[in-house]
Structure 1
Amino acid sequence: MDTGTSGTLIRPRREALGEYVAALESGWSPANVAGDAVVRAHLAAIGRDADAFLESLHDPEARGAPIALPDGTNVPRLPGYTRWIWDGGFCGAVHFRWQPGTAALPSHVLGHVGYAVVPWKRGRGHARRALALLLPEARAVGLPHVDLTTDPENIASQRVILAQGGYLVERFRKDAAYGGQEGLLFRIPL
């Protein structure tokens, strides 16, 4: 099944859902934080109502339910959406969120952009390409820059960010909801 061309971002849709489910069932998670819980939640939501699940991944008006953080705290949803990374098959996901009128993010939001590539397609430039394709969309909502965070040992992710003109802003402690671990904050000017 080909629902896109090589190296594109697609809006999550029914025709590609089977490959997404297969990736989840293999143990891959679209989230770098609370991965197993996200996998279970996504599979359950797809089982209940696949179309509603797909719609929930595109919420630029922040109309969805509050977000549950890893520590169980509920916080208001920010505008945002997910795109699937596609090369003729499912490669991973890139997520974008923002606050209208400002580049600032609440302390519990670990960046404007997050991405995850399935293990069997890593090392092929998919994350780098996905981030490059998403940056014009961030510019279109009026952001002067995007912030991204990564763990200090995630060298591959740091290379992806640096390849798009990102630079290290600071080392920081993640919000308590995420366990207070050390992280690296990067910024990409738009």
Structure 2
Amino acid sequence: MLAIELLRPTTALLPSYVSALETGWSPDNVRKDVAAREQLHAIEVNAEAFVDGLDDPTASGGPIPLPDGSTVARLPSIVRWIWDGEVSGAIGFRWQSGTAELPPNVLGHIGFSVVPWKRGKGYARQALNLMLGEARRQSLSYVELTVDPENLASQRVIAACSGVLIERFKKTAAYGFAESLRYRIALDH
């Protein structure tokens, strides 16, 4: 298995990221193609601002769009690109300071997506394990991740990182009441 790194997005790495987006991959498992098009447009308008906005541990950016078009306040968050010599995916982590709880509109602390042509190589598991270190630095007692019931690959990744299924639930109206699974990973400090 190849070892990956999680890299803070930079304009120097941007061509590899743009190439993945243009090939049809999206870092957003919920908003998919819409998010990919928005990102390509944002990069075209101001690449530096786009890259800077992916690392926002103080939640200084603007509101976050939801799939139904509504917006919500931004949480502190970071995005890291999964790197094996080129961008191979992305993983994001968001949190509320001082608590492991999340607002009802936030489906989970961590979300990840590996480009289709690199799936099955253990990249998602490695990336999730690395991002759990970031969560520990925020002194969270646990993180939660949500996954669609048919996404067996992500369920296996989460379980391999000590994730435990805690509930099957319906997402909020903003997400079309779709069925989802919520996993929790306890963090020892």
The TM-score range, normalised by the shorter chain, is: over 0.9
1:167 aligns with 164
1:44 aligns with 41
Amino acid at match of 1:133: L
The count of residues paired between Structure 1 and Structure 2 equals 186
1:96 aligns with 93
Alignment partner for residue 125 of structure 1, among 92, 98, 122? Answer: 122
**Cα offsets for 1:119-170 (capped at 9, x unmatched):** 0000000000000001011011111000000011111000100111110000
Asked whether 1:156 is paired with 2:166, we answer no
Q: In percent, how many aligned pairs have the same letter? A: 58
Alignment partner for residue 65 of structure 2, among 59, 64, 68? Answer: 68
Alignment partner for residue 135 of structure 1, among 125, 132, 135? Answer: 132
The 8 Å contact of residues 171 and 185 in structure 1, kept in 2 or not, is answered as: yes
User: Runs of 4 or more off by more than 2 Å in structure 1?
Assistant: none
Alignment partner for residue 85 of structure 1, among 82, 85, 110? Answer: 82
Asked whether 1:106 is paired with 2:124, we answer no
Amino acid at match of 2:184: R
- Aligned mates of 2:71, 2:155 — CA distance in 1: 29
Asked whether 1:30 is paired with 2:27, we answer yes
Q: CA offset at residue 110 of structure 1?
A: 1.0
Amino acid at match of 1:183: S
Q: CA offset at residue 68 of structure 1?
A: 1.1
Structure 1: gaps (5+ residues): none
Match of 2:167, SS state, is strand
- Aligned mates of 2:167, 2:146 — CA distance in 1: 10
Structure 2: gaps (5+ residues): none
Q: CA offset at residue 11 of structure 1?
A: 0.3
Match of 1:15, SS state, is coil
2:184 aligns with 187
Alignment RMSD (CA, Å): 1.0
**Cα offsets for 1:81-126 (capped at 9, x unmatched):** 1000011111100000001111111111110000000000000000
TM-score, L = length of structure 1: 0.96
The 8 Å contact of residues 8 and 85 in structure 1, kept in 2 or not, is answered as: yes
Amino acid at match of 2:12: E
Match of 2:69, SS state, is coil
- Aligned mates of 2:133, 2:123 — CA distance in 1: 17
